Structure 1
Amino acid sequence: MDVSLSSWFVILLAIAAANLPFINERLFAAVPLGRPTKSLWLRLLELFVLYFVVGGIAYLLESRIGNVFTQRWEFYAITGCLFLVLAFPGFVFRYLRKRHG
C-alpha cells in the first residue's frame, strides 16, 4: 500500500470511527446493551477508545511504509481535536436533529 492510499484509508477510517458511537445503540457496533439508548458519557468513552484504535492502525501503516516519526503532545492534541470535529455530523444526527412526528 503506497503512502497516498494509506493516508486516505486512515482519513476514511477516522471519519467512520468518529461517527460510529452516535449512529448505533450498540457498544462498538457489536455488543448489545441492556437498555434501549446509550448515554452521552458512554458515547464519549467509546469515541475516546476509537481514537486510539484509529491511531494504532495509523501507526502500523506508517511503520510498514518506512520510518516512524516520534510524536509529542502537540500531535495528540491536534489529532484529538480533529477527531472531535470529524464526530460532529454524528453528534448532530443524534442530538440536534429535529424529529418530526
Structure 2
Amino acid sequence: MNTALAVWVVLLLAAVAANLPFVNERPFLVGPRRVPVKSVAWRLLELAVYGALVIAAGRLMEGAIGQAAPQGWEFYAVLLCLFLTLAFPGFVWRYLRRHRG
C-alpha cells in the first residue's frame, strides 16, 4: 500500500468512526436499538472505543508499510483533538439541529 493512500484511508476511517456514535441509536452498531436515546456518556464511551480502533488500524497500516515509529504523548494529544474535531458534524446533527416531531 502506498504511504499517501494509507494516510487518506486512516483519515477517512477516523472521520466515519468519529461520527458513528452520533448518527445511530445502536450500541457499537450491533446491539439492540435503544428506545430512550443513548446518553451522552454512552456516546463518549463509543467515541473512545472507536478512537482506539482507528489508532490500532493506523498502527497496523504503518507496520505493513514499514517500521512503526514510537509515539509520545504529544501524538496522542493531537490525535484526540483531531478526532474530536472530526466528530463535530455528528454532534451538531444530533444535539444542535432541530428535529421534526
Q: What does the per-residue CA deviation read over 1:34-60, in whole Å, with 9 as the maximum and x for residues that have no partner?
A: 533100000001000110000000000
- The runs of at least 4 aligned residues of structure 1 exceeding 4 Å deviation read none
Q: Which residue of 1 aligns with 2:7?
A: 7
Indicate the residue corresponding to 2:19 in structure 1.
19
1:28 paired to 2:28: yes
Give the TM-score, by structure 1 length: 0.94
Number of matched pairs: 101
Q: Which amino acid aligns with 1:50?
A: Y
Matches within 5 A, 1:12-91: 12-91=12-91
In 1, the alpha carbon distance for the partners of 2:5 and 2:31 equals 31
* SS in structure 2 at match of 1:28: helix
Counterpart CA distance in 1 for 2:28 and 2:55 is: 16
CA RMSD in angstroms, aligned pairs only = 1.2
Return the TM-score normalized by structure 2.
Answer: 0.94
Consecutive unaligned residues of structure 1, counting only runs of 5 or more, are none
